[in-house]
C-alpha cells in the first residue's frame, strides 16, 4: 500500500495529513505549533502525530509534499534576511520604480555599468572591478544577493557573470532576475529577485527541518513543495526559488477545498494566524493572476493563483481607533497571542500581567512582551539593536523593559522585521480563549491581558471596555466585520461586471444597508451570489457569523483545518519554459537563448529552434521533480503588423509546459 504525507507550515500551526492513495481518503491528521527558530520541532511533532493517528508504518509513505505560508507571511510583515542588490545598467529612475525602495528597506545597492539593449546587444562591458571592491566591503550580516541587469531576459550573460563572481568570492546564495521571470520590465523583475533573495534562508531552514525528520523516520520518499500556482516542484528547485512559494499555502488550500467539499463555484476564504487569503473557485479550478502575484504592497512576476491576501488572522494585532467613539482595528501585523506566550513562559507572563493589573493606570506598553527568536547570536547589528539583543539574552521581557526609550523603538522594529524578535500581545485568539470558544492555550493569561487592554481610554476619556469579556466580544465582532469586508471586496473584484472600486463599494452605505436588509421607502437587499468555503483552524470559530452577515451559505468541510496539507498531496508537477524571438531587421529573426541571441534568416526555423530549446529545458525540470510520464503543451503568441500590404514580424513568445504526477515510491 502507498500513503501520501502532506505537510503545511503556517505562521502559527504546522499541519500534517496522511492520505490513503487507493481509497482517496484522509486517514490521519494532526496539528502542532510552528516552532521558531527551530522549525524542526513543530514539523516533527505534526508528522509524528499524523502518522500515529493514521496507524501506518512510516516506511510505507510513498510521497511527501510541503506547502507553507512562511514566504507570504514574511512579505506581508516585512520580514526576511538582509541582502545586497546588484543593479547592472540601472539608472536612478529605475531604482525608484516597482516598489524597489520599499523592498530594499535600506539594504545596500551595488550599481554597476553593464547591461544589454532590447535586441540583446551589449550596451557596455560589465564592471567587474567595482563589483569586486563592493563585495569586499559587504558586512557579515548580509545573507544573500540579488542580481538584475537591464534586458537580462534578452541576454542574461551579465547576470550570470556577476552571479558566478559573487558565489566565488562570498559563498552566499544569489538570485538572478532572469531565472525567475522571462518577462520584460527590469524594475519589477529586480523586485522579484530581491524578495527571492530575502526568503532563501527561511525556506531552506524549513525544507532542511522536514528532510531531517523524514530521514529519522526512515521515509525515503521524494519531498515536493507546492508553488504559488498550486503545482508541485522538487525541494531543490524550491530552495533556489523560494519566491515561487508565495501563496503556496493558499494555493494548496484551494486544491484541498475543492477535494474536500466537492464545490466547483465558490469563494474560498482561508484564515490563518497572520493572513486571510481569498480566491474564486470556478468550474473547480482557481484563476491564475495574469499580472503576477501581489502580496502585501508588492506586485511580483511570480505566477500564482489570483489570491487576494489581507493581513487579518487569528493572531492579528489589536489596535484602538483614535477619536471620541474609539473602536478597534485588527492587523496587519501578527503577534504571538498572550495565551500562547504564557504556555511557553508561564511564570514570566503571569507575573508581569499580575504586576501590571495591580496598578490603576493602563500599561504604557499595552501589556506586550518582546520574545527573542534567535538560536545563534545575531550578526551585523547596530549599537541600539545590540543593546536590545543584550537585554533579551536572558529571555522574554515586557516591551517597556526591552525598549527603554523612543530612540530604541525603530531598532526593535528592525529586529522584528528580520525575524529575530516577535512581539506578544492581545489578539483574536486571546479573545476566543477568554470567551471559552477555544481552549488550546492559557485562557487565564488571555483574560488577564484583555483586562489590562480594556483599561485603555478612548477619546471621550472612558475605558475601552468594562471587562475582558466585553473587550473579547468587541474583538470577535471586529474580526467578523473585517472578514466580511474582505469577502465583499473579493466578490466585487471577481464579479462579471467590472466594478470601479471594490474596496470602496464593500464599505459603501448602500452595501451595508443591503446586508442589513433595509426596509423603508426604499427596499435594499444584498448578499454574496456564491457560497463561501471556510478553511483554517479557526474558521469554525469565527466564520458562522460571517456567513450570516453576507447572506450566503458557509461551507465548513471536515478536515478544513488541514486543507492546505491535503492540497499539498493532490497536485501535479507543472513546469514551464518561456522564450522570445524578435525581429533583428528585415529577414532576420533573433532567438534569445541563455548564452545570448542567435540570428536566423527564416522565421519558422527560428521558432523551431526556440521551441526545441524550451522543450528540453522543461523536460529536464519535470524529470528532476520525479515525473516519468511527461505531458507537453506548447503555446505560440506571434505579433505581426501589416505595413503597406506587407506582413511584418515583430515578436513571438513561446511557452512550453511539462506536467505530470511525481513518481510514487511504493514500499516493497
Please check the confidence at residue 668 and state whether its pLDDT lies above 70.
Answer: no
Distance CA 617, CA 626 (A): 15
Interval 365-400: pLDDT, tens? 778 999 999 888 888 899 999 999 999 999 999 999
Interval 296-327: pLDDT, tens? 677 888 888 888 889 999 999 999 988 777 78
Rg (CA), the chain: 26
Tally of CA atoms within 13 A in the half-sphere of 8 that contains its CB: 35
DSSP letter for 370, please: E
Tally of CA atoms within 13 A in the half-sphere of 580 that contains its CB: 21
From residue 140, give the alpha-carbon distance in Å to each of 84, 352, 389: 11, 36, 17
Q: pLDDT confidence of 665, banded at 50, 70, 90?
A: low
Question: Cα torsion for 70, 72, 76, 78, to the nearest 10°?
Answer: 60
What cell was used for 351? Answer: 507575573
DSSP letter for 436, please: T
What cell was used for 479? Answer: 474580526
Distance CA 447, CA 433 (A): 8
Q: Where is average pLDDT lowest: 75-84, 413-422, 583-592?
A: 75-84
* The model's pTM: 0.72
Please check the confidence at residue 667 and state whether its pLDDT lies above 60.
Answer: no
What cell was used for 447? Answer: 483574560
The percent of residues in the chain predicted with pLDDT above 90, rounded, is: 62
Distance CA 373, CA 75 (A): 18
**Residue 16 pLDDT:** 95
171 within 8 A of 204, measured Cβ to Cβ: no
339 within 8 A of 443, measured Cβ to Cβ: yes
Q: Which residue has the cell 507550515?
A: 9
Q: Where is average pLDDT lowest: 26-30, 255-259, 433-437, 636-640?
A: 255-259
399 within 8 A of 409, measured Cβ to Cβ: no
Q: pLDDT confidence of 666, banded at 50, 70, 90?
A: low
Q: How many residues does the chain have?
A: 668
Judge residue 444's burial from the number of C-beta atoms within 10 Å of its C-beta, 0-12 exposed, 13-18 middle, 19 or more buried.
middle
Give the mean model confidence (pLDDT) for residues 15-38: 88
Distance CA 330, CA 343 (A): 23
User: What average pLDDT does the chain have?
Assistant: 90
**Residue 561 pLDDT:** 86
Torsion over CA: 190, 174, 290, 183 (sign): positive
Interval 475-514: pLDDT, tens? 999 999 999 999 999 999 999 898 999 999 999 999 999 9
226 within 8 A of 236, measured Cβ to Cβ: no
Amino acid at each position: 500500500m502507498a500513503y501520501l504525507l502532506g505537510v503545511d507550515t503556517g505562521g502559527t500551526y504546522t499541519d500534517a495529513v496522511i492520505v490513503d492513495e487507493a481509497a482517496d481518503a484522509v486517514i490521519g491528521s494532526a496539528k502542532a505549533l510552528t516552532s521558531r527558530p527551530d522549525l524542526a520541532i513543530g514539523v516533527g511533532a505534526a508528522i509524528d502525530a499524523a502518522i500515529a493517528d493514521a496507524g501506518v508504518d512510516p516506511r510505507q509513505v510513498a510521497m511527501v509534499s510541503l506547502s507553507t505560508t512562511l514566504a507570504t507571511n514574511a512579505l506581508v510583515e516585512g520580514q526576511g534576511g538582509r541582502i545586497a542588490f546588484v543593479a547592472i545598467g540601472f539608472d536612478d529612475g529605475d531604482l525608484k520604480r516597482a516598489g524597489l525602495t520599499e523592498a530594499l528597506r535600506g539594504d545596500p545597492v551595488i550599481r554597476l555599468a553593464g547591461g544589454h539593449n532590447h535586441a540583446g546587444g551589449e550596451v557596455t562591458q560589465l564592471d567587474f572591478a567595482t563589483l569586486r571592491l563592493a563585495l569586499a566591503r559587504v558586512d557579515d550580516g548580509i545573507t544573500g544577493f540579488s542580481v538584475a541587469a537591464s534586458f537580462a531576459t534578452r541576454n542574461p550573460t551579465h547576470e550570470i557573470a556577476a552571479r558566478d563572481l559573487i558565489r566565488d568570492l562570498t559563498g552566499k546564495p544569489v538570485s538572478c532576475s532572469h531565472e525567475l521571470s522571462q518577462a520584460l520590465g527590469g524594475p519589477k523583475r529586480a523586485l522579484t529577485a530581491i524578495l527571492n533573495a530575502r526568503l532563501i534562508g527561511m525556506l531552506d531552514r524549513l525544507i532542511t527541518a522536514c528532510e531531517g525528520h523524514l530521514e529519522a523516520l526512515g521515509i525515503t520518499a521524494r519531498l515536493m513543495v507546492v508553488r504559488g500556482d498550486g503545482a508541485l516542484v522538487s525541494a531543490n528547485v524550491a530552495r533556489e526559488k523560494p519566491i515561487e512559494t508565495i501563496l503556496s499555502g493558499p494555493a494548496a488550500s484551494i486544491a484541498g477545498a475543492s477535494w474536500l467539499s466537492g464545490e466547483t463555484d465558490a469563494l474560498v476564504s482561508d484564515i490563518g494566524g497572520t493572513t486571510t487569503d481569498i480566491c474564486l473557485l470556478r468550474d473547480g479550478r482557481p484563476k491564475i493572476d495574469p499580472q503576477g502575484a501581489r502580496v502585501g504592497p508588492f506586485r511580483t512576476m511570480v505566477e500564482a493563483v489570483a489570491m487576494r491576501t489581507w493581513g487579518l488572522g487569528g493572531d492579528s494585532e489589536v489596535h484602538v481607533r483614535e477619536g471620541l467613539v474609539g473602536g478597534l482595528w485588527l492587523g496587519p501585523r501578527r503577534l504571538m497571542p498572550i495565551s500562547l506566550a504564557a504556555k511557553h513562559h508561564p511564570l514570566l507572563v503571569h507575573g508581569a500581567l499580575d504586576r501590571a493589573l495591580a496598578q490603576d493606570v493602563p500599561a504604557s506598553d499595552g501589556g506586550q512582551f518582546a520574545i527573542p527568536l534567535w538560536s545563534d547570536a545575531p550578526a551585523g547589528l547596530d549599537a541600539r539593536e545590540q543593546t536590545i539583543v543584550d537585554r533579551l539574552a536572558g529571555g522574554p521581557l515586557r516591551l517597556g523593559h526591552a525598549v527603554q526609550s523612543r530612540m530604541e523603538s525603530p531598532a526593535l522594529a528592525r529586529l522584528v522585521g528580520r525575524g529575530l524578535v516577535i512581539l506578544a500581545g492581545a489578539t483574536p485568539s486571546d479573545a476566543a480563549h477568554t470567551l471559552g470558544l477555544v481552549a488550546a492555550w492559557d485562557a487565564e493569561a488571555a483574560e488577564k491581558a484583555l483586562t489590562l487592554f480594556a483599561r485603555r481610554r478612548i477619546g471621550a476619556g472612558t475605558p475601552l471596555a468594562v471587562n475582558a469579556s466585553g473587550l473579547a466580544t468587541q474583538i470577535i465582532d471586529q474580526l467578523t466585520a473585517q472578514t466580511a469586508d474582505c469577502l465583499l471586496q473579493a466578490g466585487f473584484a471577481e464579479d462579471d461586471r467590472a466594478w470601479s472600486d471594490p474596496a470602496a463599494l464593500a464599505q459603501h452605505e448602500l452595501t451595508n444597508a443591503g446586508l442589513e436588509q433595509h426596509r423603508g421607502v426604499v427596499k435594499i437587499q444584498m448578499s454574496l451570489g456564491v457560497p463561501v468555503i471556510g478553511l483554517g483552524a479557526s474558521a469554525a470559530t469565527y466564520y458562522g457569523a460571517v456567513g450570516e452577515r453576507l447572506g450566503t451559505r458557509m461551507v465548513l468541510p471536515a478536515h478544513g483545518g488541514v486543507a492546505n496539507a491535503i492540497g499539498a498531496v493532490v497536485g501535479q508537477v507543472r513546469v514551464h519554459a518561456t522564450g522570445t524571438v524578435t525581429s533583428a531587421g528585415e529577414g532576420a529573426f533573433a532567438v534569445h537563448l541563455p548564452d545570448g541571441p542567435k540570428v536566423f534568416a527564416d522565421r519558422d526555423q527560428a521558432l523551431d529552434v526556440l521551441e526545441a530549446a524550451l522543450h528540453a529545458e522543461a523536460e529536464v525540470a519535470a524529470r528532476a521533480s520525479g515525473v516519468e510520464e511527461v505531458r507537453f503543451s506548447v503555446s505560440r503568441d506571434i505579433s505581426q503588423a501589416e505595413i503597406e500590404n506587407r506582413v511584418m514580424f515583430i515578436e513571438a513568445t513561446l511557452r512550453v509546459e511539462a506536467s505530470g504526477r511525481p513518481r510514487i515510491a511504493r514500499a516493497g
